[in-house]
Amino acid sequence: EIVLTQSPGTLSLSPGERATLSCRASQSVTSTFLAWYQQKPGQAPRLLIYGASSRATGIPDRFSGSGSGTDFTLTITRLEPEDFAVYYCQQYGSSPYTFGQGTKLEIK
Amino acid sequence: EVQLVESGGGLVQPGGSLRLSCAASGFTFSNYAMTWARQAPGKGLEWVSSVTSSGSRTDYADSVKGRFTISRDNSKNTLYLQMKSLRGEDTAVYYCAKEDGSGSSYYDYWGQGILVTVSS
């Protein structure tokens, strides 16, 4: 099983700042099969990024993903108030399709 | 518009059974693999089970293997999760999710979730 470790656990930033979230895998993720999701309280997760760097439909270009192998990054430039939420990475290259434990992005 | 609506959740005693349903609309259900994921209260996301578009192949997390069964009825555009021998650690919000259709198991649409509580 591929274990995904996200860091930091909580990130405190102000609107307008840049956020950098990390996701590290315990072994190489097949073919950059890595996705990022955003979840707000009481809501279902929302797909942001797939294939490590492809934005999902309707996702603003301030969200970008990068990385390969075992190290992946989600970057949010110019934080908007609606971006404060919990973010999860997920690998879908090999079953079981594991999620990271999440990074909470909170307003400073 | 893609819609996924879960139903069938509720309170069940340990050792009991429950069947969740997910009614799909807004896309050709029979063309897409589907997944159940869950989230325990205050915790992160956990993949539970997936089924191919035809229903011919299924996959399960070790934590539910042998107790949960995923199935689908493409004539009714409905996904199911039959849960047996339920335990306290199965308490969670259960989400159904649509896979993107490219053969890769990421989820482009999610239902709103349904709460399952296992308690005496």
> What pLDDT band is residue B119 in, cutting at 50, 70 and 90?
very high
Q: What is the mean pLDDT of chain B?
A: 96
> Chains A and B: how many Cβ contacts under 8 Å?
55
Q: Which of A35, A39, A43 sits opposite B106 (nearest CB)?
A: A35
What is the C-alpha separation between B98 and B100, in angstroms, rounded?
Answer: 6
Grade residue A30 by pLDDT with cuts at 50, 70 and 90: confident
Between CA B87 and CA B35 the distance in angstroms is 21
**pLDDT (tens digit, 9 = 90+) per residue, B48-77?**
999 999 999 999 999 999 999 999 999 999
Return the pLDDT at B101. Answer: 75
Contact A50 B100 (CB under 8 A): yes
